Structure 1
Amino acid sequence: MWKTFYIKPNERGLLFKRSHFRGVLQPGLYRRSWMTRWRVETHDLNEAEASIDNLELLLQTHGQALNQHLHIVQTAHNEAALVRLGQSWMSLGPNQLRAYWRGFIEVEIHQFNLDESAALPLAFVERLRGKSLHGIRPVYISESEVGLLYIQKNFVQPLGAGEYAFWTYKQEVAVQKLDRLTPNPSFPLAEVLLDQHPDFVAEYCSVVSLTAEEVAIVRYQGKVIEVLAPTSRQLYWRSVDITIVNIGAAHKLPANLVTELVTGLTEVAMLSHKALYVLEVPAQHVGLMILDGTMQEPLSAGTHAWWTFGHSFKAESIDLRLQTLEVSGQEILSKDKVPLRVNLTAGYRVTNPVQAKAALADIREFLYKELQFALRSAVGTKSLDALLEDKGAIDNTISDHIRSKTTDYGIEVDSVGVKDIILPGEIKTILSKVVEAEKAAQANVVRRREETAATRSMLNTAKVMEDNPVALRLKELEILERIAEKIEHINVNGNLDSILTELINIKQP
């Protein structure tokens, strides 16, 4: 009996006799004896990959026959492969064995040694553009970027602008993209780059490595982007400009750096504020700086700055203008035990700030205390009457005292004056009564003096009338005129000659 096998035009058959491979059957009709147990495995050529059991063993025993009909791809432990099946691509990792039928679908095979390079050649990168294949990582670096290639977490090389693809079979591949437009990107493991990859650093980077007495000012496109402290070590792109400043001998910043780092752009001032000690000296003031416990030269009006690293600072501005100090509400007993409240004001100016601050911890507190002492001494040695009669004497006493105390401290006292002497309520009442009595006595004296003068005048007038009848007559007429102004009718008995000796009857209607 016969067994018939038909192989279609789009098929291939694998002929086995009792599990032993006997060959590859082309399309057509085949007949074999049924008794000999022939078996045929058919494979559709529309499926380009041939799924053959025990392929590796068959290749060892019948490799020449199979190679006539199959493309065989076998990768070692350090190899990978790209296979194009018509318009499709697939990738094969290490230790793979695959077979693809010849002649029906176009097959293209490329094998790569992973030990030689983890990157695919550019020609394949372009051909695989837009395709996602297992085991291949595509990378695109723009012209504004630099890529850092890491394999197994170790830096391998920088990547310029362009397209790349890398095998990821059995190895960890990472690409760190850094922006070229950012002058100080976060370089991964910068210390490793500096120590292990000097070629990359020399080609792409500017390095800042500072000693304990150096600071660095980093500028990008003319603008300060960072101020580095001593002992810093930092990487930047080569596009930056770096200025190293030795602070061992010169702690104070020159005027051009003060303008750039302190009084210029706000964002620059914020970058540098931790590195600088800044003192603003207003107009009509002088600045005093104590650096590491030592007084420095006086500072003129303006902005001054010092590097803070490794130093201590203490500074203040001293006003050179005339200043006023009030000593108010001083409760003091006069010599005659009268409690008084005295307010004092003084004008002063600092003429030698260095001398004043070297000797005095607090200028105003010193003046206040000395004025208190002088005021108590001046008031306590005088009676109330003496104080009220001559307040200028108090001013002179206090002025002499305070000037003698301030001469050696670079302070000039311009004026001292008592503003108010406030008396207790009962003392005010007593003084009011005293003043009232004094004024009443003065008024009585004036009144007596006026009465005496009036009497003397009348006596003189009488003597004149006694010797001059005409004057007496005129006086009578004057009196009558005055009376007539106040009444309407006058009745006179007798004649006018007896007007002073006769009774005058004044009758009102």
Structure 2
Amino acid sequence: MWKTFYIKPNEIGILYHRSDFNKILESGTHTYFARHWQVKIYDLNEPEAAIDSLELLLRDYPSELEPHLLIVRTTFNQAALVRLGQNWLTVAPNQLRAFWRGFIEVESHIFNLEESLELPANFVQQIRGITLNGLTKFQIFESEIGLLYVQNNFVQPLEPGEYAFWSVYKAVKIQSLSRIIPNPQFPAEDLLIERHPEFINAYCEVVQLLNNQVAIVRYQRKVIAILPPTSRKLFWQGVEVEIIDISNNIKLPPNLIAELISGTPETLLLSRNSLHVREVPSQHIGLLYINQEFQSQLQPGIHAWWIFGRLFETEAIDLRSQNIEVSGQEILSKDKVPLRLNLTAAFRIQDVLKAKNGLADISGFLYKELQFALRAAVGERTLDSLLEDKGAIDRSIGEYIRAKTVDYGIEFDSVGVKDIILPGEIKAILSKVVEAEKAAQANVVRRREETAATRSMLNTARVMEDNPVALRLKELEVLERIAEKIDRIQVNGSLDNILTDLIRINRE
């Protein structure tokens, strides 16, 4: 019995006799006698040879198989990269893979993973855009530095470029850090400093401070960080570091005040947690306390101190004249009349140290003393005396408060009662009293005027009685006043009887 097998041009076959390997059959027609022959055909368009019992066949028939197969065998610490025409695939450790030769160009490359997990640059370019199992690819841009971590342990820095790493049995990741930012967030800074000095020396600047030092870090003449004592921080190389000893001099000089406080808002934000700042306005004086002990007076201007290890308190005291109001004080006069008074006073602080050292609350002390003085001055006087001489209250309060404050360096310029507010019923009574007094005064004036007018008329009558000419002049005067108010006068009779005869007045 003859058996014929046809192998197509894009195929290859393996001839078996009773399940035993016999030979490789290439394209064409093959005829064999006996019925126990069989052929397993493989499509060469699928270049990987999925041959059963490949390990045994390679051991027993290597010379027959190897001319037709590319054998890729990897150990536990190896991986392979296989090119199949324009395609690529990877072979993981501890694997045996076979690929048909001839129909598609194939080649393989074995890599020792213990020596390096990084794929050479020429292979990275060839597999660009292709996703492969077991390979992790990264792109580091020109503004970045990459930190390579294997199993979460730092291995090396990576310059800008394309990279691929074998990740078949180890976790590989890259953390990209911007080179534009001079102080990026370095991962595990202390570990980098202590265990990887080669990376630190090549790329970084380490700032390590003692307990009496602070540092100002600048990049391109701009403040980017203020570091407290005992701190340690990494920066890219290229920064400028100014280390300041604060063991004795903790006050900032004018140039640093201008840079850190009066500079950009970003710089002010950086210095907020490092400085105690006090601005003393003009016509004020400042007081500085460190650890609750008085240190010095501060002249007008901006002052700043490093706060580390110290407790600062500052206060600006106004040296100008200030007003204090004592309002709504309800007090009984000596004659038991309830009054409500409002007091105002103007004072200035002459000796700041006396005032602050002697008084915990200057305004509260002055308010209480003015209140006491007002009550004493009002309580000693009757309502009539208060209304007659309100200045006496001012003088009494002024003498009292000046005596109380002279030892505290406080001077009062003026003290005065603004308002004395009477109860409604007392106000009504006083109004009636004033009204009666004014009515009496008006009645006296009216009687005096009436007496004077009567006396004047009597004197005039006596003159006219003895002097007819004066009488005639008076008549003419009356006639003139009447003529001013009418258009025409018609007189019947002579002028002799002008005041006794009938006068007819026609108005037109």
Q: Which deviates further from its counterpart, 86-95 or 371-380? A: 371-380
Alignment of 1:478 with 2:470, yes or no, is yes
Deviation of 1:310 (Å): 4.0
Deviation of 1:57 (Å): 0.8
Partner secondary structure for residue 296 of structure 1: strand
Query: What amino acid sits opposite 1:141 in the alignment?
Result: I
Cα distance in 1 for partners of 2:455, 2:52 equals 166
Unaligned runs of 5+ in 1: 466-470, 494-504
Query: What amino acid sits opposite 1:324 in the alignment?
Result: N
Query: What amino acid sits opposite 2:110 in the alignment?
Result: Q
- Asked whether the equivalents of residues 489 and 506 of structure 1 are also in contact (C-alpha less than 8 Å), the reply is no
Q: Which deviates further from its counterpart, 194-203 or 429-438? A: 429-438
- Asked whether the equivalents of residues 490 and 506 of structure 1 are also in contact (C-alpha less than 8 Å), the reply is no
Shift of the 381–60 alpha-carbon distance from structure 1 to 2, 3 Å rule, reads same
Q: Which deviates further from its counterpart, 151-160 or 302-311? A: 302-311
Corresponding residue of 1:315: 314
Query: What amino acid sits opposite 2:396 in the alignment?
Result: T
CA RMSD of aligned residues (A): 3.7
- Asked whether the equivalents of residues 158 and 200 of structure 1 are also in contact (C-alpha less than 8 Å), the reply is yes
Alignment of 1:240 with 2:234, yes or no, is no
Cα distance in 1 for partners of 2:345, 2:332 equals 21
Map 1:357-396 → 2, pairs under 5 A: 357-396=356-395
Cα distance in 1 for partners of 2:455, 2:53 equals 167
Q: Structure 1 length as normaliser, TM-score?
A: 0.83
- Asked whether the equivalents of residues 464 and 471 of structure 2 are also in contact (C-alpha less than 8 Å), the reply is no
Query: What amino acid sits opposite 1:19 in the alignment?
Result: S
Cα distance in 2 for partners of 1:489, 1:14 equals 175
Cα distance in 1 for partners of 2:266, 2:363 equals 38
Corresponding residue of 1:153: 152
Q: Structure 2 length as normaliser, TM-score?
A: 0.83
Query: What amino acid sits opposite 2:62 in the alignment?
Result: G
Shift of the 279–489 alpha-carbon distance from structure 1 to 2, 3 Å rule, reads farther
Unaligned runs of 5+ in 2: 480-490, 504-508
Deviation of 1:215 (Å): 3.7
Deviation of 1:113 (Å): 0.7
Deviation of 1:159 (Å): 0.5
Cα distance in 1 for partners of 2:101, 2:430 equals 137
Once the two structures are superposed, what CA deviation does each residue of 1:144-182 show, in whole Å capped at 9, x if it has no partner? 111111111211111001111111111111111111112
Cα distance in 2 for partners of 1:456, 1:92 equals 146
Shift of the 122–358 alpha-carbon distance from structure 1 to 2, 3 Å rule, reads same
Deviation of 1:489 (Å): 8.6
Cα distance in 1 for partners of 2:416, 2:27 equals 131
Deviation of 1:15 (Å): 3.4
Query: What amino acid sits opposite 1:67 in the alignment?
Result: E
Deviation of 1:12 (Å): 4.1
Corresponding residue of 2:482: none
- Asked whether the equivalents of residues 491 and 507 of structure 1 are also in contact (C-alpha less than 8 Å), the reply is no
Deviation of 1:141 (Å): 1.0
Deviation of 1:284 (Å): 1.8
Deviation of 1:128 (Å): 1.8
Cα distance in 1 for partners of 2:217, 2:150 equals 32
Cα distance in 2 for partners of 1:66, 1:291 equals 91
Map 1:138-287 → 2, pairs under 5 A: 138-287=137-286
Cα distance in 2 for partners of 1:114, 1:228 equals 43
Shift of the 69–282 alpha-carbon distance from structure 1 to 2, 3 Å rule, reads same
Deviation of 1:492 (Å): 12
Cα distance in 2 for partners of 1:333, 1:26 equals 132
Corresponding residue of 1:60: 59
Shift of the 48–426 alpha-carbon distance from structure 1 to 2, 3 Å rule, reads closer
Cα distance in 2 for partners of 1:28, 1:334 equals 138
- Asked whether the equivalents of residues 5 and 29 of structure 2 are also in contact (C-alpha less than 8 Å), the reply is yes
Once the two structures are superposed, what CA deviation does each residue of 1:167-204 show, in whole Å capped at 9, x if it has no partner? 11111111111111122322223332223222212222
Shift of the 9–340 alpha-carbon distance from structure 1 to 2, 3 Å rule, reads closer
Deviation of 1:129 (Å): 1.9
Map 1:26-45 → 2, pairs under 5 A: 26-27=26-27, 30-34=30-34, 37-45=36-44
Corresponding residue of 1:351: 350
Corresponding residue of 2:488: none
Corresponding residue of 2:483: none
Alignment of 1:102 with 2:101, yes or no, is yes
Q: What number of residue pairs does the alignment pair up?
A: 491
Corresponding residue of 1:21: 21
Map 1:340-489 → 2, pairs under 5 A: 340-428=339-427, 429-430=429-430, 433=433, 436-437=436-437, 440=440, 444=444, 475-483=467-475, 485-486=477-478
Partner secondary structure for residue 50 of structure 2: coil
Shift of the 449–198 alpha-carbon distance from structure 1 to 2, 3 Å rule, reads same
